[in-house]
Amino acid sequence: MKAIKVMANIDEHGQLTLDSPIRTPKNSRVEVIVFIPEEAESEGQRLSPEGTELPAIA
């Protein structure tokens, strides 16, 4: 398996839009891993996997 790093945006529908196209020799299905910055955590907030705020830990 080959790894390619690209930047993308996630829209309001949860769809990824890549900043630039990935050129491959043929159409193919790929596996995608998304790294999302945890900006809210650095401000003392915790988010659930769905993006909703979780109660603070005492």
Q: Is the Cβ–Cβ distance between 45 and 52 less than 8 Å? A: no
Q: Name the residue range of residue 50's domain.
A: 24-58
Domain presence at residue 16: no
pLDDT value at position 28? 86
d(CA 19, CA 27): 19
Eight-class DSSP state of 9: E
pLDDT value at position 50? 66
Domain presence at residue 55: yes
Domain presence at residue 57: yes
Planar angle of CA 29, 51, 46, nearest 5 degrees: 125
pLDDT tens across 17-56, in order?
Answer: 999 998 888 888 889 999 888 765 555 556 666 666 666 6
d(CA 11, CA 17): 8
pLDDT value at position 8? 95
pLDDT value at position 51? 63
Domain presence at residue 32: yes
pLDDT value at position 57? 63
Strands 8-10 and 16-18: antiparallel
